[in-house]
Homo-oligomer: A and B are copies of this chain.
């Protein structure tokens, strides 16, 4: 019997497969028993009500997708009254994803969602914020450190920082999050992209631009997961284009302790369940007794030290 459990800091997950924020909700219980998952991660919420972006909010781009949903949110009150109780019907840890327009509002929400039934808080610091010219906190190490310090003070729950690929300073941002007290890093969110319908000459998204997710994102997110695992000592949760057990294993070998699955669930709603089964079979076939034995086993040799700081492709 192989063991699939992993530790994300103090939090033990029964397996390393969990959904990515914004690609999962209570609704998936229509399709399978959500207690099969390693964790439940909610869609990012904001304190107040948000309507979200104009439609079209998604489009396809060559075997991947763009989205610009705009974080519609019913606000924290609705969330605490309806969403948290729903997940108490399950034994699986609940991770709540939050965001805020300013660091203080963000921290306030962080305190507000630190309630029984919530097992960790994922802070989506990859969203535009008004204090930084509309840039995400996680684009710069300095703004990452600042917001994470405030968030750390606001809760005693495990704090997961979700990083953005829209930066040239992944390792530095990761270290800033660690120094400010993050318990884990979720790597990564979508990368800013665009598509135009050449017939109508209109952007394919109502919001002009949106985030690229799915297979195209994988090599970028994998690189970031590797960089973060090398640059910090806290657990890394890989995310980006993972759709098969091979993808998941690639992230684990790169140094991730668990993975999140996003867009793949849209294509195959049971993708995560299949991945958990396949992971068990993979480990058995490799003659391993625990998934922990493959985490961070990439044979990076001499390159290991030098490369972490290199952000540019030659």
What residues make up the interface of A, taking CB atoms closer than 8 Å to B? 53, 61-64, 66-71, 126-128, 133-136, 139-140, 164, 166-169, 189-196, 198, 200-203, 207-212, 215-220, 222-223, 226, 241, 246, 249-250, 253-254, 297-300, 303-304, 307, 309-314
Contacts and interface: CB of A to CB of B under 8 A. Distances in A.
Nearest to A304: B208
Contacts of A241: 62
Contacts of A69: 314
Given A166-B168, A208-B300, A313 B190 contact: yes
Please state the number of chain copies in the assembly.
2
A208 B222 CA distance: 11
A51 B113 CA distance: 55
Contact of A136 (B135, B139, B164, B168): B168
16 contacts: A62-B215, A64-B219, A69-B314, A71-B314, A126-B313, A134-B312, A192-B220, A192-B313, A193-B313, A195-B250, A196-B254, A196-B298, A209-B310, A209-B313, A210-B314, A215-B216
Contacts of A202: 298-299
Nearest to A245: B198
Contacts of A203: 298-300, 303
A128 B192 contact: no
B254 A194 contact: yes
Contacts of A307: 207-209
Contacts of A226: 194, 209
Contacts of A194: 219, 222-223, 226, 254
Contacts of A249: 198
A115 to B, nearest CB: 26
A67 B61 CA distance: 22
A271 B131 CA distance: 46
A138 to B, nearest CB: 8
B168 A314 contact: no
A61 B247 CA distance: 11
A211 B220 CA distance: 9
B168 A140 contact: yes
Contact of A250 (B71, B196, B254, B300): B196
